[in-house]
Amino acid sequence: MFKHVDPYAGDPILSLNDAFQKDPRPGKINLSIGIYFEDDGRIPVLESVRRAETQIVAEGGPKPYQPIEGAANCRSAVQQLLFGAGHEAVASGRVATIQSVGSSGSLRVGADFIHRYFPASGVWVSDPTWDNHRAMFEGAGLTVHTYPYYDDATGGLRFDAMQETLRAIPKRSVVLLHACCHNPTGVDPTREQWNALIPLLRERELLPYLDLAYQGYGESIEADAWVPRAFAEAGLSFFIANSFSKSMSLYGERCGALSVVCPDAAQAALVLGQLKATVRRNYSSPPIFGGQIVARVLTDPALRALWEGEVKAMRERIVAMRKKLHAMLSVKLPGRNVDYFLTQHGMFSYTGLSQVQVERLREEFAVYILRSGRLCVAGLNSGNVEATAVAMAAVMAG
């Protein structure tokens, strides 16, 4: 019956993480998957989250089906987080938001919506982008193209080429943009560059799709939401998928949201209706617990303050690790420019290592980074950074 089914080639990120778990070598180092680890190597349970969980469990509420679009308190807390308290777009009801199963779930619901209501639109993603973006949009039946983004030669952004491509693509094309902490490169446009993109997107009638998976890991929780706020203020219509996997260390709770900023409240109501229809035919409604943790942490003033401090500490630990690795490599590889560790933002650095070098790292040194050369700086700690620098220096010198 099933002989014709294609074998699954595996996922470039999750399969590598599985291979790491199975690796018996004691000194192995996991810098592959985008997860924040503490300095002791463990995935943190944030104190703000632990307290919220304790309160929710103690309250012992029932577990009915949620509304298709998710819990009202979670959706409204997400809107406040993304756009700030009292933002005109939220106050006027022109933002349609659903609670989703991780931000992957929201990306896919949005992709299904686009396939139905913008069937002629192609999707344009940065070169490179998160490995799963292409698969998700293609899985929804859309055609995926790339726009120039990362500059191998400088380790920066190919901004002119990016603009040139976006100026030339068909109207109503969907343009996927990372609102902060670009995955996989850590290279973000400056505010000046975003300010140049806004009129371009508007004049060319493009449909931006923001992915905001790392809010708080760039500059701050507020500053990392600058792009959606600027887009909304400029009157753009756009999608934004956001996640609490990293910012609340809630990976397995699968908690995210999809918001669509529309020209007016009437269109937002239409969009929300069709997002609900998409959800109902896929998984009916999202789970309760993760969304209630998010709502509690975001709306309880004491928990919110605690969470903001915890996010700051995670961000600062990553910056400290960037500096350490940079300093160690600069000593071991004199003359080699590794300043990208200092200039790139968020969890990831794009090292420029070749596939052969990446394989050597894994096989000879048990250091796991992605085949693309992406290194998760959030997996470094005071116990493994020296070994990582030794391994990298060996393969980079060879």
The DSSP element (H or E) to which 362 belongs, if any, is helix 355-365
Rounded-to-integer distance, Cα 163 and Cα 155, Å: 18
Give residue number: closest CB to ligand LMR.
34
Tell me, yes or no, if 124 is annotated catalytic: no
- 112, 188, 211, 224: the catalytic one is 211
Residue choice 121, 183, 247, 381 for contact with ligand LMR (CB under 6 A):
183
Q: Of residues 5-24, which lie at the interface with ligand LMR (CB under 6 A)?
A: 13
Tell me, yes or no, if 130 is annotated catalytic: yes
Report, in Å, the least distance between residue 174 CB and ligand LMR. 20
Rounded-to-integer distance, Cα 326 and Cα 111, Å: 39
Report, in Å, the least distance between residue 245 CB and ligand LMR. 7
- 112, 130, 188, 324: the catalytic one is 130
Per the DSSP assignment, residues forming a β-bridge with 367 are: 29
CA dihedral sign of residues 256, 252, 344, 133:
negative
Residue choice 36, 124, 130, 368 for contact with ligand LMR (CB under 6 A):
130
Tell me, yes or no, if 211 is annotated catalytic: yes
Q: Of residues 67-96, which lie at the interface with ligand LMR (CB under 6 A)?
A: none
Tokens representing residue 275 in the block: 């997002």
Other C-beta atoms closer than 10 Å to the C-beta of 282 total 12
214 makes contact with ligand LMR (CB under 6 A) = no
Rounded-to-integer distance, Cα 318 and Cα 37, Å: 10
Rounded-to-integer distance, Cα 77 and Cα 193, Å: 29
Q: Which is nearer to ligand LMR, 33 or 338 (CB)?
A: 33
Total interface residues for ligand LMR by CB under 6 A: 6
Residue type, 166: L
Tell me if 82 sits within 8 A of 258, measured CB to CB.
no
Q: Helices 289-299 and 72-83, interaxial angle, to 10°?
A: 50
Binding pattern to ligand LMR, positions 31-70, x when CB under 6 A? --xx------------------------------------
- 112, 124, 188, 246: the catalytic one is 246
Q: What positions carry a catalytic annotation? A: 130, 211, 246
* Residues engaged in binding ligand LMR (CB under 6 A): 13, 33-34, 130, 132, 183
